[in-house]
């Protein structure tokens, strides 16, 4: 049986790992009686941890949100993962304004890490380097947190928005989800003025409080917001769109096709579908050729004709090249 102090730490760790535990489950994990569990829960409450309990057959214990942030208990891999995340944030990324806070948090974490974990963290710092840092547009952390809160609370927001063509507009939207592509943040929302779903680049958003009232959530257009935003920024936004069969496994295609350049869908073990877009048919052809895969255009018919014309032109150029080599 664990000593009282060690048992309290173990109990706190269990309460942090899942939403709710029954008294019997905690007693079994700690190898004590339910009465001891109740006493230990009382001790945690005395120390300032907000442990909530419910009675009845479905009752149990859960760790609630308190006025202060309680200490967290992390295992080795969790501690290293947090440290790597903090170091990455401290180096600068797509979110602006968290670098200094990340450095302070990282210093506190490294101070309490045991030697074996400090060595692992030191190796990460010593043998990893960013390439030029984040060069894309950044977003203030206050903007991210305000948008996330609006999504959570179902509250309409107002903002000024600069389109890709440089024009500005005022928007009143119902926000649903923030999506991060690895380079940029996007907001998926219902535009109340246009009565349609829209995707906004967050670095082009300038919030204009006070915001609007709460709204009743609508039926979302998708169950996969990441794929929805990917299609919006890679396909739907362009005047020319195409569906193409790539004759390679989807894993190979994903090495060349990013969420910002197309949406992939598996067909079988040897092929996949690509949905993508561009400003012109010529751009679409160049994009497909640059992938370096065999492909078959499924739609639109105009792109098929464009590929045929280009193929005939290339064939003539190759034939003339062979003739010149033969004549020399």
**CATH number of the domain residue 254 falls in:** 3.30.70.250
Model pLDDT, residue 197: 95
Domain that includes residue 41, residue range: 4-63
pLDDT at 307 over 60: yes
Whether residue 286 lies inside any domain: the answer is yes
Residue 280 lies in a domain: yes
Condensed to tens digits (0 to 9), the pLDDT of residues 99-120 reads 778 877 887 787 778 888 888 8
Domain presence at residue 318: no
* pLDDT of res. 212: 85
Distance CA 320, CA 191 (A): 56
| Domain presence at residue 29 | yes
Binned at pLDDT 50, 70 and 90, residue 66 comes out as: low
Is residue 273 domain-shared with residue 245, that is, in the same domain? Answer: yes
The pLDDT value given to residue 176: 96
pLDDT in tens, 189-210: 999 999 999 999 999 999 998 8
Give the model confidence (pLDDT) of 248-280 as tens digits.
999 999 999 988 899 999 999 999 999 999 999
Distance CA 278, CA 240 (A): 5
- Domain assignment present for residue 209? The answer is yes
In the block, residue with structure tokens 């806070």: 101
d(CA 177, CA 207): 16
Number of domains the chain is built from: 4
Question: How confident is residue 81, by pLDDT bands cut at 50, 70 and 90?
Answer: confident
DSSP category for residue 204? G
Pair (246, 308) in one structural domain = yes
pLDDT tier for residue 73 given thresholds of 50, 70 and 90: confident
Provide the token pair at 195: 């009565």
Residues 121, 145 within the same domain: no
Structure tokens at 101: 């806070």
CATH code, 16: 1.10.10.10
pLDDT digits (tens, 9 = 90+) for 278-300: 999 999 999 999 999 999 999 99
| Residue 23 burial (CB count, 10 A) | 17
pLDDT of 1 above 50: no
Provide the angle, in degrees to the nearest 10, between the axes of the packed helices 34-46 and 23-30: 100
Per-residue confidence at 165, pLDDT binned at 50, 70, 90?
Answer: confident
């Amino acid at each position: 049986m664990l000593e009282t102090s060690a048992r309290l730490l173990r109990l706190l760790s269990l309460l942090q790992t899942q939403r709710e535990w029954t008294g019997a489950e905690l007693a079994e994990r700690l190898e004590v009686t339910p009465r001891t569990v109740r006493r230990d829960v009382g001790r945690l409450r005395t120390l300032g941890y907000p442990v909530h309990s419910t009675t009845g057959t479905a009752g149990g214990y859960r760790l609630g949100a308190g006025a202060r942030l309680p200490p967290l208990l992390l295992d080795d891999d969790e501690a290293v993962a947090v440290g790597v995340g903090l170091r990455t944030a401290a180096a600068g990324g797509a979110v602006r304004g968290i670098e200094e806070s990340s450095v302070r948090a990282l210093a506190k974490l490294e101070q309490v890490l045991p030697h074996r974990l400090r060595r692992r963290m030191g190796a990460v710092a010593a043998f990893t380097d960013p390439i030029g840092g984040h060069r894309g547009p950044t977003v203030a952390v206050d903007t991210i947190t305000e948008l996330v809160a609006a999504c959570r609370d179902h509250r309409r927001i107002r903002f000024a928005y600069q389109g890709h063509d440089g024009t500005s507009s005022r928007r009143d939207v119902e926000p649903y989800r923030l999506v991060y592509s690895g380079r940029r943040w996007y907001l998926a929302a219902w535009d109340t003025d246009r009565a349609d779903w829209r995707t906004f680049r967050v670095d082009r958003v300038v919030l204009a409080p006070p915001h609007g009232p709460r709204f009743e959530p609508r039926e979302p257009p998708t169950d996969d917001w990441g794929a929805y935003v990917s299609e919006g920024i890679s396909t739907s936004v362009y005047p020319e769109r195409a569906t193409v069969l790539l004759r390679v496994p989807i894993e190979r295609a994903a090495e060349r096709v990013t969420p910002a350049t197309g949406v992939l869908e598996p067909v079988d073990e040897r092929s996949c579908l690509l949905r993508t877009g561009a400003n012109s048919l010529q751009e679409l052809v160049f994009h497909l050729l640059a992938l370096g895969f065999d492909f078959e255009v499924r739609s639109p018919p105009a792109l098929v004709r464009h590929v045929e014309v280009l193929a005939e032109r290339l064939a003539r150029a190759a034939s003339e090249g062979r003739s010149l080599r033969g004549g020399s």
